[in-house]
Chains A and B, each alone.
Chain A
């Protein structure tokens, strides 16, 4: 079992729609969760961090954390073609305090 699991996609949504990206993790004691965006040929860029259960909003982005279900999600409202990228979920695991990344979900926003 991988430490962080994501659906590889691609996830296709029309412009203006809500894109929902999901991530599950295996270490129940994990405390820190992050979403990164990576454009093709570029390095990952931090979008959101979340540390406690519930929702955290930043502009068009909302991160949701449910520690009981070991589940993290990222919602992108009013999706734009410029949001087309691979989204990486990252977890700082309690086990040896290591940082684990999911394999990423590729998002395509169609004009």
Chain B
């Protein structure tokens, strides 16, 4: 069974731009969560989607948004990028919320 896939794997943007990251969950998994990982803050929860609905949201500004499609694929968007948004963005999928989460390889975003 194929794992979680994320695209792109690497991204370089400049301040003020916006970016869209994509995540395809494990086949059959309907819940997708997004995390930001930085050396200083560790793994921070962004949001969780299930059946195209956002179930939970972390403590991030409104510049961070996401959505989930009917095929369970998910995208997250960051608008008006700041230098501090440079991080590894990880997507994790699970069969349903509360189940074990399996992570994708991540998207490394660098904001210059």
Contacts and interface: CB of A to CB of B under 8 A. Distances in A.
A97 B106 contact: no
B103 A43 contact: yes
B105 A43 contact: yes
A22 interface: no
A6 B45 CA distance: 17
Contacts of A49: 100
Contacts of A36: 103
B90 interface: yes
Contacts of B88: 43
Contacts of B48: 98-99
Interface in B88-105: 88, 90, 97-98, 100-105
B22 interface: no
Interface in B51-89: 55-56, 58, 88
B43 interface: yes
Interface string B28-61: 0000010100000011010010000001101000
A81 interface: no
B90 A44 contact: yes
Interface string A26-60: 00000110101000001111100100000000000
A101 interface: yes
Contacts of A42: 105
Given A97-B98, A99-B33, A45 B42 contact: no
The 8 closest A-B pairs by CB, nearest first: A101-B43, A103-B42, A43-B103, A43-B106, A44-B103, A49-B100, A98-B56, A43-B105
Interface of A: 31-32, 34, 36, 42-46, 49, 88, 90, 92, 96-104
